[in-house]
Structures are given as structure tokens and as C-alpha cells.
Amino acid sequence: MEKPFTFRDRLNNWASRKIPVKRARSRLTRPLASVTFDDFPKSAWTAGGTILRGFGARGTYFASGRYCGIEEYGIEYYDADDLRAVHAAGHEVGSHTFFHRYVPEVLSRDLVADARRNAEFVRGILGDVTLSSFAFPFGDVSPRTKLLYSRLYPCCRGIRPGVNAGVLDLAQLWAVPLEVRHWTAEQVEERVEEARRQNGWIVFFTHDVSETPAPYGCTPAMLEHALHTVASAGMPVLPIREALREATGA
């Protein structure tokens, strides 16, 4: 459950947006798109994965170990078999912390231990897999946690709205929500056109995929619209780690 946003939260998020931590100049000669799912609700795979496959796209599933095999607030989350299926289909599994807490409220040493626990949890199911992408739970970030996670992962994704072009901040990538609470087709189309013009990298994020999604999730039609729009713009849809490699050579 999301907590009330305090003045301190707003200050941390504002400062994090203003302070680039891990700058890299984009090497892209074509626009790219990525589709990411936070928390990994089961429907992100059973419905979202089917839609991605229909467009020849692969995504990034940001998994928190604590969600494995549970149902919470009416949302059923992934299980070990889903994690194996996502990996076998060529999608990326990224880290979303193990406990899924508001990271600015947690001591740095505990965040490092939590990251290690989530990596060990995923390796226990998938074998020798490295989690190279990270997404901040709730999009909540502070300058301290931004710096910390930039040292733990090659690439971190936030929820700042925008397209990644020119000089990228790999510690807090810009992203575009696919969330039923405030989605419009026009906003998606405008952002895709922006990425096309700039040879940019557009990163979509959502949660569950359902005809009756949670406020932070999307309907199948919303996801299909985003994928159709980027396909019409000639943009491949790659997992974060592969798009990062093309964008920076790393």
C-alpha cells in the first residue's frame, strides 16, 4: 500500500531529478523502446507476455522476492514457474528490491543486504543469472539511494516522465507510465514521436495487465496501443539491459 507523500519525499524526489549521478552520452543511431513491469503481477506475464510475443517484443520484469507466490490487495503475483517462463522466453528479470519498501527510509547497509538477498532469491530459481537493471519501488528515490543503487546496478529506472536522449542519467532513467489512472493515447503517441525525432530511448512502465487493472496497471488495449505505436515508428522493443548496451556500449 502506498504511503502519504510528505514534504521530505517531495524534496528527495526533486533533488534526485536535478542531480545526475551516472551520466552517459547516448550512442543511439535509431530510436528504441523498452516495456517494463514493476512488482511482477502474474497478469504481467500471462496477459502482458502474450501481447509482447504478438509484437515480437521482449520486456523487463522487475521482481521483488517477497511478492513470489502471494496475493495482496486483490492482485495475484508471480510464482517460481512464472519467473522461469519469463526467463526462458528471453525477457529480462530485473531487481525491485526484496522487501519492496520506501528505500529513502532504509539504512544504506540494509539496502545493500536487501539487494544481495533479492539476487540470491532469483539465482535460487533461475541459476547463474545477474540482475543488471533496477527499478525504485514506488518510484521513490533520494540522492543517497540514487547514488547507492547506481553503484550496485549498471542501470536504474525511475518514474520521471520523459524520453532518454542526448546525455542519459543511468542512475534514474526517464520513463513513461502505462497506468489506467491517468493514461491517454495522445500522451503515449507524443512521447513516441519525441523518441523518434531524437533517436531516443523510451521506457514504458506498468504493473498488472487486466481488463480491470489496479490504478497502477493497464488494460490489454493500452499495452497493445503502446506497442503498435512504437512499431509504427519503426522502433524495436528491447529489454533494459539490451537497450542499454546499444545506447552506451556498456
Grid look-up 556500449 returns: 249
- Whole-angstrom distance, CA of residue 206 vs CA of residue 225: 14
- Whole-angstrom distance, CA of residue 190 vs CA of residue 196: 10
Identify the weakest region by mean pLDDT among 18-22, 39-43, 191-195, 210-214. Answer: 18-22
Q: What was the pLDDT predicted at 14?
A: 59
Cα dihedral sign, 148-216-19-189: positive
- What the block records as the C-alpha cell of 36 is 517494463
Whether the CB-CB separation of 32 and 238 falls below 8 Å is answered with yes
- Angstrom CA distances, 222 to 92, 177, 208, stand at 21, 11, 12
Q: What was the pLDDT predicted at 9?
A: 66
- Average pLDDT on 161-179 reads 96
- Average pLDDT on 233-250 reads 95
What pLDDT, in 10s, does the model give residues 89-140? 999 999 999 999 999 999 999 999 999 999 999 999 999 999 999 999 999 9
Based on its alpha-carbon atoms, the radius of gyration of the chain, rounded to whole angstroms, reads 17
Res 149 pLDDT > 90? yes
Whether the CB-CB separation of 167 and 25 falls below 8 Å is answered with yes
- What the block records as the C-alpha cell of 176 is 513513461
- Whole-angstrom distance, CA of residue 89 vs CA of residue 83: 10
What band does 13 get if pLDDT is binned at 50, 70 and 90?
Answer: low
What pLDDT, in 10s, does the model give residues 32-57? 999 999 999 999 999 999 999 999 99
Q: What was the pLDDT predicted at 5?
A: 58
Residue-range domains of the chain with CATH: 22-248 (3.20.20.370)
Q: What was the pLDDT predicted at 34?
A: 98
Mean pLDDT over the full length of the chain? 94
- Whole-angstrom distance, CA of residue 55 vs CA of residue 57: 5
Whether the CB-CB separation of 135 and 36 falls below 8 Å is answered with yes
